[in-house]
Amino acid sequence: PTISRNDYQPYPYALPRVELTFDLDPACTRVYSRLHLERQSESPEPLVLNGEELALESVSLDGRRLAVSDYRLEDGRLTLFPEAARFVIELVSTCRPQENSTLMGLYVSGDHLFTQCEAEGFRRITWFPDRPDVMARYTVRLRADRARYPLLLSNGNLASNDELPDGRHEAVWEDPHPKPCYLFALVAGSFDCREQSLDKDGGGQALLQVYSDRGSNSKTAWALACLEHAVRWDERRFGLKLDLDRFMIVAARDFNMGAMENKGLNIFNSAYVLADKDTATDAAYRAIEAVIGHEYFHNWTGNRVTCRDWFQLSLKEGLTVFRDQEFSADMLAQGLTGTEARSARAVKRIDDVSTLRIAQFPEDAGPMAHPIRPESYQEIGNFYTATVYEKGAEVIRMQHTLLGEAGFQAGMAEYFRRHDGQAVTCDDFVSAMESVYTRLHPGKTLAVFRRWYSQAGTPRVTVEVSWDPAQQACNITLTQRNAPAGIEKLQDPPTAKPPLHIPFAIGLLTREGKPITLHHEGRQSDTALLELTEASHTWTFTGIPESPVVSLLRNFSAPVIVEYERPDTDLALLARHDADPFARWEAGQALASRQLLAMMKTGEAPSALFIDTWQALLLDADITDAYRARVLALPSDRELLEKTTPMDPLAAVRACRHLQSALGNRLTPYWMDVYRKTAADAQADYSPDPASAGRRALKNLALSYLMAAGHPDAAELARMQYDVASNMTDRMGALSCMLRYGASGVAIQVLDHFYQQWQHDPLVMDKWFALQATAPDATVETVRSLMLHPAFSLRNPNRARSVVFQFCMNNLQGIHGPGGYDYWAEQVLALDSLNPEIAARLARAFDSWSRYADAPREGMRAALEHVRGHAGLSRNVSEIVNKALKI
């Protein structure tokens, strides 16, 4: 059954109050629910409640117990026929947390009980109007065995905590903020807690708490610090204050996604909470900061103002990703100014754009292509996608670019003025922004811009540049092409796609690499923001004394693909001199991609120009280490693969390796020099600050080039780095180099040492598994034997991801090698019987199957057909494989 955006109907009842009582027990939990309902229409309407995997014990209406004939109970729906305008429904039902392997609803993880309700998990807890536009005030009474579950948490404020007979106890929580049920949470168990109190902006104190498994308290200091930074940042940059007296984060070992923004009680995948220098890498520290920020920022963008329906998911996710990206960038640039600050922020931008290109662009070109506000879905759990999140964030960022920081903040203030406490749509958000935009630019609207919400596919923008010596003028023409995306291609006639509003930032450089000042829209700057709102438009810049080199799509001002033919020498010049640090990185990557594509086609060796460019970047004294590590890295094999038709994974892997070893060889003394300089402070006290992390990133990059080149000292350096490492970043850096480029005997020995040292730590063991699943020589046999390891379990999503997903999605040689496709199909089916949401993610590994050459294409198709033919497939997996096979 397909659900369509246009079918939205308001719920006929308001639900001002909900009282829930839980008798918590892992085998069978009984839930007593009392719903205070008020009809919104004149005449009686059936009351429809959602429920899944529940046993219904009783239903009462205004205190009168209903007979079975008084209501209708069918798959997933309970329908009552109340006549009064206001009434109270009481329901008693049970669920089975222990048997719940889906990790949606109420489930067991370790010795604890957790909930995950977004998107539609609350219906697995009790019968309820499980939709985001029904917002209620909750009172929650939790009862459980005191010894087993000493801590009982839910949203809001703790009203009481009392002893009960038989060793049980009870906690009552009251949440003063009305919320949709997807933001409900409860947690029960025994935890360590790290807390601090915080002076709230505007007065009063708030208690910040981080709960984690007993014995892990030493690993939550960073998470708590990040939470404080997030609170302060949202006050400073957005003027948004914490509206609670208590804000809790709880770490769960078993969790489907990254984390969840339940009101006042965020539940996190432990991977985004726990960190210390011995077990977490620099990247993990940054990811924790981002996710803690993300969930905290949802408190306003998501919770105070929520979504009317799930088609509006990007309303909260795109906006909140934009906010967490800005938070991370501000944290990276803290204390820096000028060029340094800009290149520090660019590092975040580079990482985000790389993610977009590797995850979202292919999605937008494949069978699951959808607008950031989807038009239809079969299973909403399949739409927590890179498009809704990452492209959604780009669409918010473009509004920020069009309005400027002050204008955007004014638009946010207007959004909250209009909609605080409501469940609204993406259109409502744009309208708030538009009210400011129109004030700033009389006569202009966001009417064309809104198409970003309804059009799928990555626009292609073609650039033409000409310079007129007589006029000393430079003409720049931008032309956009919006081809049908995904299943649109199958429509007859194909849907016509009108032009989008594309903010396109450009700069001009002299042939010496100096910036040229541009006069544009009454402003003078090195960067001009061109607003393309038609299919094609030409801009003329005057006072340009020579034929310039153009810097395009600065800071990646729109999520588009730029098509512009130009000589390698121009790219090399931009890679060395572009004042926009993002565009500068981009130019280097474009140059590298050309090398890689040439090597795939003709086996051509890297050009002198390319080697010289990398050498210049190695020696540039003006850039930070973190930024240098980004500009010197090569595009990944997955990025390269996206650029080839038909897709040839093995050739992509070979080319990347070849170019890396060539660069390692040709620039050996420089890499060695960088390595020696950056390794000198390896023994210093560990700190995850951006400067130190940048140094480590550069060091590990240098090591990988030396290893790739087979330098005679490299293996020894790696081994030494592993042995003396004072932190996980250096240890992992060395180990992954050994696995990727070293002698397999040494790698096996070191892996074993690593295992002996870290086997007690699940998050480190995830890394141990992942390293092996992505090793270049890993085969289906390798992963099968990893799955036989006693520490492996398909039920734990982190562990499944570290082996199965890593192999299927990040090991191109492995998955496209013998038996790879059968292995994938088998794992999708095995996971589907446990956890459909996770299975559906794995099912997407072959989204691009139709773009491969004959043999792999037919192999993937057969595997997809095999999965589709399986009886009892979940709605999640069925939607994915059916769409994949349509293309």
The number of beta carbons lying within 10 Å of the beta carbon of residue 640 is 26
Residue 260 touches which of ligand ARG, Zn ion, none (Cβ within 5-8 Å per kind): ligand ARG
**CB closer to Zn ion out of 320 and 878:** 320
Residues 6+ apart with CB under 8 A from 724: 682, 683
Does residue 295 carry a catalytic annotation? Answer: yes
Stretch that binds ligand ARG, among 87-95, 255-263, 620-628, 748-756 (CB under 6 A): 255-263
List 95, 223, 251, 260, residue binding ligand ARG (CB under 6 A): 260
Q: How far is the CB of 157 from Zn ion (least distance, A)?
A: 24
Residue 213 touches which of ligand ARG, Zn ion, none (Cβ within 5-8 Å per kind): none
Distance CA 752, CA 754 (A): 5
Residues 6+ apart with CB under 8 A from 447: none
Note whether 531 binds ligand ARG by CB under 6 A.
no
323 touches 730 (CB < 8 A): no
Residues 6+ apart with CB under 8 A from 613: 572, 575, 576, 588, 591
Residue 878 touches which of ligand ARG, Zn ion, none (Cβ within 5-8 Å per kind): none
Distance CA 887, CA 878 (A): 15
| Site track 37-76 with ligand ARG (rule: CB under 6 A), x = hit | ----------------------------------------
Region at 80 (left for phi over 0; alpha for psi -120 to 50; beta for the rest): beta
Residue 586 touches which of Zn ion, ligand ARG, none (Cβ within 5-8 Å per kind): none
Note whether 259 binds ligand ARG by CB under 6 A.
yes
Q: What are phi and psi of 301, to 5 degrees?
A: -95, 85
Residue 256 touches which of Zn ion, ligand ARG, none (Cβ within 5-8 Å per kind): ligand ARG
Note whether 381 binds ligand ARG by CB under 6 A.
yes
Catalytic choice (52, 289, 295, 363): 295
117 touches 262 (CB < 8 A): yes
Stretch that binds ligand ARG, among 116-124, 536-544, 770-778, 850-858 (CB under 6 A): 116-124
Whether the ω angle into residue 119 lies within 30 degrees of 0, i.e. cis, is: yes
Number of residues binding to ligand ARG, judged by CB under 6 A: 14
Query: In 247-391, where does DSSP find H-type helix?
Result: 282-298, 313-333, 338-355, 361-364, 386
**CB closer to Zn ion out of 271 and 808:** 271
**Contact positions with ligand ARG (CB under 6 A) in 833-862:** 837
**CB closer to ligand ARG out of 139 and 833:** 833
List 19, 52, 120, 295, residue binding ligand ARG (CB under 6 A): 295
| Site track 17-36 with Zn ion (rule: CB under 5 A), x = hit | --------------------
3-state secondary structure 28-75: CEEEEEEEEEEECCCCCCCEEEECCCCEEEEEEECCEECCHHHCEEEC
Tokens of 726: 């004072």
Q: How far is the CB of 298 from Zn ion (least distance, A)?
A: 6
Q: How far is the CB of 23 from ligand ARG (least distance, A)?
A: 25
Residues in the chain: 887
Q: How far is the CB of 158 from ligand ARG (least distance, A)?
A: 24
Q: How far is the CB of 133 from ligand ARG (least distance, A)?
A: 17
Note whether 107 binds ligand ARG by CB under 6 A.
no
Tokens of 866: 């095999």
654 touches 640 (CB < 8 A): no
Residues 6+ apart with CB under 8 A from 459: 480, 481, 482, 500, 502, 558, 560, 561
Q: How far is the CB of 118 from ligand ARG (least distance, A)?
A: 4
List 247, 384, 541, 705, residue binding ligand ARG (CB under 6 A): 384
Note whether 256 binds ligand ARG by CB under 6 A.
yes
Residue listed under structure tokens 């889906």: 102
Number of residues binding to Zn ion, judged by CB under 5 A: 2
Residue 50 touches which of ligand ARG, Zn ion, none (Cβ within 5-8 Å per kind): none
Stretch that binds ligand ARG, among 258-266, 464-472, 511-519, 750-758 (CB under 6 A): 258-266
Q: Which residues pair with 206 in a beta bridge?
A: 198
Residue 381 touches which of Zn ion, ligand ARG, none (Cβ within 5-8 Å per kind): ligand ARG
**CB closer to ligand ARG out of 813 and 835:** 835
Note whether 116 binds ligand ARG by CB under 6 A.
yes
Q: How far is the CB of 838 from ligand ARG (least distance, A)?
A: 9
Note whether 515 binds ligand ARG by CB under 6 A.
no
Q: How far is the CB of 291 from ligand ARG (least distance, A)?
A: 8
50 touches 11 (CB < 8 A): no
Cα→Cα distances 774→28, 522, 752, Å: 40, 53, 17
779 touches 807 (CB < 8 A): no
**Contact positions with ligand ARG (CB under 6 A) in 311-340:** 317
| Torsion (CA) 103, 104, 109, 113 in degrees, nearest 10 | -170
The number of beta carbons lying within 10 Å of the beta carbon of residue 661 is 18
Residues at the interface with Zn ion (CB under 5 A):
317, 320
Catalytic residue annotation: 295
Residues at the site binding ligand ARG, with contacts judged by CB under 6 A: 116, 118-119, 256-257, 259-261, 294-295, 317, 381, 384, 837
